[in-house]
Amino acid sequence: MIAEQIQLYLYEVSKVEYQHLDLPFRRVPHWILSYVQQGHVYISAKGEESLAQTGCVMLHPANEPFKEWAHTPGVHWWCTFDAMIGTNSDFLRRYPAPRVIALPNPLVFEQVFARLESTWQAEASAWRDARAVALILELIDVVLEPIQKTPSDHGVPERFTRVIAHMKNNLQNPLNRSVLAELANLHPTHFDRVFRARYGVSPMTMLRDLRLRQVCQRLERSDDTLELIAADCGFQSAAYLSRVFQATFKQSCGQYRRMLKAAQAGYGA
């Protein structure tokens, strides 16, 4: 027999599209489950930075400050809720999970979320509320099931904080997986696996995206040449940077810079 009672409170179910994202640090009194249906997003929380790409879920615990930003368009599906066992036991605290979870089958999540959104928009009734509770629990199960199947690695957060800090401080220098794995005191293959499980991307992909973030900042804030920006941000050449930027953002560095200048002119900056 199973006799554990869960009290679930659902506050919002929504979808949002944006051209760029710049959410300052905020503290929300409820859990936020946010699915990246398109695009990619950087998150800063508790002194760590993470990257959520298409097909990933971001979990923001209640009352923990976080910040999100993205330089490219995207679509998020999200909901806010509380799930309690008893009067003061947070259900999700029982199942520690990384802030970013790469879903093995995003389509399953989208199907459940679509049913939840449809139920949420229906006329209020006891049946609607019961169905919404069942669906949010199903959604949580879709997100957490892969994590519960993955053995935990003690000390990983501290190790990876050190690795990511090293990335940020050495963006202009050559870095490879072996060097980063050594900083974490892990074998390169194991390092890659646990890094992906925690952040949803490989360490080298995160390094590339951190470098591209710095490129975007330089394009926004300076008139430096592409050659100088490429050298300072760890790209082999301006030509290589141009290829990576185009493949990632679907526009050239020049187009990105012109778009920003046009936006600033439009706001009278």
Instruction: Look at residue 268 in the predicted model and tell me its pLDDT.
Output: 38
Mean pLDDT of the 212-217 span: 84
* Residue from 225, 249, 254 nearest 237 by CA: 225
Q: Number of helices and strands (H, E) in the chain?
A: 9, 10
* Amino acid letter, 112: V
Q: What angle do CA 228, 233, 235 make, to 5 degrees?
A: 85
Burial environment of residue 236 by CB neighbours within 10 A (0 to 12, 13 to 18, 19 or more):
exposed
Cβ(59)–Cβ(198) below 8 Å: no
Q: Residue 201: pLDDT above 90? A: no
Residues 242-268: tens digit of each pLDDT? 999 888 877 889 888 887 666 555 433
Q: pTM of the prediction?
A: 0.58
CATH code for the domain defined by 156-266: 1.10.10.60
Cβ(220)–Cβ(188) below 8 Å: no
Q: Where in the chain is the domain with CATH 2.60.120.280?
A: 6-148
78 vs 147, residue with greater confidence? 78
Cβ(212)–Cβ(244) below 8 Å: yes
Looking at domain 6-148, what is its CATH homologous superfamily? Regulatory protein AraC (2.60.120.280)
Residues 95-146: tens digit of each pLDDT? 778 889 888 889 899 999 999 999 999 998 989 999 999 999 999 999 988 7
Q: Where in the chain is the domain with CATH 1.10.10.60?
A: 156-266
* Residue 269: band (very low, low, confident or very high) from pLDDT cuts 50, 70, 90: very low
